[in-house]
């Protein structure tokens, strides 16, 4: 039988951050999953650490790719799970029972998308706060006009509605992917928990300006030009607040 979940981790020279991710996957009390690691041909000890983790039902691809979304597309192509979970190197499940919680929600509600909250951690795995956008109790396609209100890692989509990432977006293809999933989803279920520890920093954070430009283009495509401009005007108080807080 196919596993319930395909947990996917994309890596490239991630030896400094990968161990908490591997430990988190291995420690889960729910075991009905496959673990897919797609590595961009790392030159450090990433693959050595992945192998040493000795995680059951693991698939490893290590070859050159065209970036993180190309690697994610490779994972989607071989995934067998009913649902996809993208857990980046450095990120982790918040508790050892997190996967069990997600599974209970998925089985009970038969949702196409299951989602939860995300908290930020630093390099020492200390919680430094909740993500600045809070996942809503009820999620629908229009929810994402306010930004990526659900973190990509906390957005678990049924594989049959999850198509490939659009490689024309370098930094925000995950946002566009979530929108396409939401368009196809018949039911979205909130699991009511913080489910992901998100390592502060990363590709999008380091390329924040370019990411915002891409998101603006994506929002125009899906929500229209005038609504997108109005939404961005409404973002100004939030931006000022975060800037004053140093976030």
Task: Record the pTM.
Answer: 0.90
Which CATH superfamily groups domain 5-202? Answer: Spore Coat Polysaccharide Biosynthesis Protein SpsA; Chain A (3.90.550.10)
Asked if residues 31 and 100 have their Cβ atoms less than 8 Å apart, the reply is no
pLDDT single digits (tens) 180-233: 999 999 999 999 999 999 999 755 555 778 888 899 999 999 999 887 888 767
pLDDT single digits (tens) 62-97: 999 999 999 999 999 999 999 999 999 999 999 999
Side-chain half-sphere CA neighbours of 93 within 13 A: 22
| Terminal alpha carbon distance of the chain | 45
DSSP-assigned beta bridge partners for residue 9: 37
Q: For residue 170, how far is the Cα from the chain centroid?
A: 15
Tell me what pLDDT residue 228 has. Answer: 83
**How far apart are the C-alpha atoms of 118 and 196, rounded to whole Å?**
5
Does residue 18 surpass a pLDDT of 60?
A: yes
Alpha helices in the chain (DSSP H): 18-26, 46-53, 68-78, 98-109, 173-184, 203-206, 208-223, 225-245
Asked if residues 191 and 102 have their Cβ atoms less than 8 Å apart, the reply is yes
């Amino acid at each position: 039988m196919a596993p319930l979940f395909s947990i996917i981790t994309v890596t490239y020279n991630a030896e400094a951050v990968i161990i908490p991710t591997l430990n988190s996957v291995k420690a889960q009390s729910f075991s009905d999953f496959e673990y897919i690691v797609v590595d961009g041909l790392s030159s450090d000890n990433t693959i050595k650490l992945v192998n040493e983790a000795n995680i059951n039902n693991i698939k490893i691809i290590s070859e050159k790719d065209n970036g993180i979304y190309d690697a994610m597309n490779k994972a989607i192509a071989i995934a067998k799970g009913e649902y996809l979970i993208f857990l980046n190197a450095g990120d982790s499940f918040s508790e050892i029972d997190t996967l069990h919680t997600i599974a209970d929600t998925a089985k009970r509600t038969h949702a196409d998308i299951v989602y939860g909250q995300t908290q930020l951690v630093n390099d020492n795995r200390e919680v430094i706060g909740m993500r600045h956008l809070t996942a809503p109790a009820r999620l629908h396609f229009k929810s994402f006009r306010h930004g990526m209100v659900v973190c990509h890692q906390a957005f678990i989509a049924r594989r049959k509605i999850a198509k490939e990432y659009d490689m024309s977006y370098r930094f925000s293809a995950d946002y566009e992917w979530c929108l396409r999933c939401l368009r196809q989803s018949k039911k979205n279920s909130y699991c009511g928990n913080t489910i992901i520890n998100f390592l502060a920093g990363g590709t999008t954070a380091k390329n924040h300006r370019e990411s915002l430009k891409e998101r603006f283009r994506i929002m125009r495509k899906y929500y229209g030009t005038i609504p997108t401009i109005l939404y961005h005007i409404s973002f100004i108080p939030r931006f000022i607040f975060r800037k004053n807080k140093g976030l």
